[in-house]
Structure 1
Amino acid sequence: MNIDKRILPELREVYSQFPGFQLEGDLEWSRGLVSAPPVKRSEQVNTTSRKIPGAAGEMLVKIYEPARRNVDKLPAMLWIHGGGYVLGHPDMDDELCERFVQTARCVVVSVDYRLAPEHPYPAAIEDCYAGLVWMTEKAESLGIDANRVAIAGASGGGGLTAALALMARDKGGPSIIFQMPLYPMLDNRNITPSSHEITEDGAIWNRTDNLAAWNMYLGEENDASAISPYAVPSRAENLAGLPPAYTCVGQLDLFRDETIEYVTRLAQAGVDVEFHLYPGCFHLFEGLVPEAEVSQRAVQSYMNAMARALHSEGD
């Protein structure tokens, strides 16, 4: 489907100039598309990089915290970068993580999980779970309140956020008070109407991209009738007992319908959920066109939601 005329005017130029991913043809080139240029770092936030025990050896995490903090413990958030399980690195979200620190008055830990196809499922979710366990076990030295921990991520990172909430619930693992799977990649079946709408070459995450990424992530399991919800969160039969959630998605995003379906099921399972649908907006719109009014509104909305969740008792 041609969606050009439906895109908001303030977003069209960037959309028209995006070259499109080539996951199967040139994965390394595609990975380069999401490599963010260096940003001016905030003097209000200190960032450190550490190697921690991952699910299969050492793993990089980046820790963001207020530059001037008192002795009080702060709430914390585990951030999971996007990239369809096959692209991305924590560095690309430096500016976003700094903003979470300042807006939500928290410590952010961003995890460099292993990518497919070199490391297919369950590598990524196992790394994310290891990161969550590490940050809660090290709460004292990190100066964080282990009773106020949230998880968040976008796109593929949103899918991993949803999967991590399920895994932590089922394992009786670290307590999570809030989850924020932004425009998440949840369903490998590609049967929703929106998964058939975004098909143009050059579209920002089209049907071809999604099919290729799921194949890389799941491998031979992609065609199996029974797949773990830790791989494909939409397959989870029971969503009860999950932490409250916030999510959003553009109306012109391939993930629109699977997000709406998941939000509906969360609400039906008794999970408190806030959801925003942005008409005229494509996948990753707020990151690719940050100066647009709708982008600023969307980012501020999810920043505020995280702040409310982590400081719900008015501290």
Structure 2
Amino acid sequence: MSRKYEKSLVKAIEEKQYKENRRGVEIIVKPIPDFEGKGAMDPRLLKSTKKMNLMMKFMPKNLMKMDGSPKSIERLRKIFNNVDSTEIITDNFIRERKTVKAEDGYDIPISIFKSNTPIENSPILYFIHGGGFFAGSTDVVAEALKLFVTTTNMIAVGVDYRLAPENPYPTGHKDCYSVLKWIGENAESFGGDSKNIFVGGDSAGGNLTLYCSNRSIEDNLDLVRGQLLFYPTVNMGGVKDENTEFTIADIDIYPDHEKYIKPGIEMFSQATSSLGDILGSDAEIMTKYLTPYMDVSQKSPVTFISSGEHDFLTIESLAYAKKLKDLGVDTTFTYYCGLGHAYLDHIGNYPQAEDCVNDIGDFIRKNRV
């Protein structure tokens, strides 16, 4: 299948990008490539949002309610597990499926993605999918990983960790860390370089990424060369300070698009408060493992953060970036105008998603040893 946009729009994003200071953080602003208007929604996202809003008029109001009930989990999994990307990479890659032993002996499924011509001793992108800790899979982000390996000839590894609430915290977190350690021990066996492991994840996967980085620091393993966080969940416990406080007025919203933008922001702000219930009764939300914002390490690896203009999580992402920068950690932040959450799931649909994958490759090339 072909892209649902002209590829020239990807180049236009790069050409139009600029830097500015936002909430004390220097960010790289990525404008909508083919629409002018402060706070506007990207035209491709607007089109799909209008369709969704029309459908939701005929649905019960509690359909998107997020709680730990079996009915809610089942309903939301059908949405979160959907593969929304458009397939644009159909050849020149392989996906090898393997398993890694968890601490309790469970076989954790992983996928190793390579191009047909991988570079020798390749850096490794270890990517942890999102989905609120209870949904999602590597399949949801597979198109992004395929695009990454075919454009860089590097290696990517995806993990299908066990999901809550059937597998309460810290099961999924420990699964992800077990796979990181396995990669560190076995990188050379599949053509990778154990000194250049870059851990990344989107949304809840960003939280799991930071768990891996922090555990590696604690255990003095030095496994993570760099970390990449895409609209990450970093302040689940709701720590309030001058950097996390905000109102809806702090977010630019194009008046003509307000009725499409505000509901998404409000929905995510409500949903994050339910994650503790989903993770299980033993989940201690106010620890750096689930609320990494409360304890940021000066030893954190070089960091890349990306988030959307209309994503509720952008505020906490900026706050996290400020803490990193204040500690002297080299941090890059890209900010996509016109987008909300989960754009990496939309390779082939949004030119911004393709631009983001290009940035991943550039970040790894720049920071590998």
Q: TM-score w.r.t. structure 2 length?
A: 0.73
The 5 A counterparts of 1:229-244 are 229-236=288-295, 238-244=296-302
Structure of higher RCO (CA pairs closer than 8 Å, 6+ residues apart): 2
Report the Cα distance in structure 2 between the residues aligned to 1:206 and 1:289, rounded to whole angstroms.
22
- Are the counterparts in 2 of residues 15 and 203 from structure 1 also a CA contact under 8 Å? no
The 5 A counterparts of 1:214-229 are 214-217=276-279, 219=281, 221=283, 227-229=286-288
Report the Cα distance in structure 2 between the residues aligned to 1:12 and 1:214, rounded to whole angstroms.
31
Q: Deviations over 1:262-301 (max 9, x none)?
A: 0000111111000012233211235347433444433433
Identity within the alignment, %: 23
Residue 33 (structure 1) aligned with residue 79 (structure 2) = yes
Report the Cα distance in structure 1 between the residues aligned to 2:355 and 2:51, rounded to whole angstroms.
23
Is the radius of gyration larger for structure 1 or structure 2?
A: 2
Residue 136 (structure 1) aligned with residue 184 (structure 2) = yes
Report the Cα distance in structure 2 between the residues aligned to 1:193 and 1:251, rounded to whole angstroms.
16
1:185 Cα shift? 0.6
Aligned residues: 303
Structure 1 equivalent of residue 66 of structure 2: 23
- Are the counterparts in 1 of residues 89 and 147 from structure 2 also a CA contact under 8 Å? no
Report the Cα distance in structure 1 between the residues aligned to 2:319 and 2:133, rounded to whole angstroms.
21
One-letter amino acid matched to 1:143: G
Residue 73 (structure 1) aligned with residue 121 (structure 2) = yes
The 5 A counterparts of 1:288-303 are 288=346, 290-303=348-361
Unaligned runs of 5+ in 1: none
Unaligned runs of 5+ in 2: 1-38, 57-62, 252-260
- The CA RMSD over aligned residues, in Å, is 2.8
The 5 A counterparts of 1:133-212 are 133-190=181-238, 192-193=244-245, 206-212=268-274
Report the Cα distance in structure 1 between the residues aligned to 2:341 and 2:312, rounded to whole angstroms.
7
Q: Deviations over 1:198-223 (max 9, x none)?
A: 9965669522322222321253545x
1:163 Cα shift? 2.0
Q: Aligned with 1:291: secondary structure?
A: coil
Go from structure 1 to structure 2 and tell me whether the alpha carbon gap of 1:30 and 1:180 turns closer, same or farther (over 3 Å shift): same
Report the Cα distance in structure 2 between the residues aligned to 1:195 and 1:121, rounded to whole angstroms.
31
1:153 Cα shift? 0.8
1:112 Cα shift? 0.9
One-letter amino acid matched to 1:231: L
Residue 282 (structure 1) aligned with residue 340 (structure 2) = yes
- Are the counterparts in 1 of residues 265 and 310 from structure 2 also a CA contact under 8 Å? no
The 5 A counterparts of 1:235-314 are 235-236=294-295, 238-288=296-346, 290-310=348-368
Q: TM-score w.r.t. structure 1 length?
A: 0.85
Q: Deviations over 1:224-258 (max 9, x none)?
A: 6xx3212221121x420111000111121110111
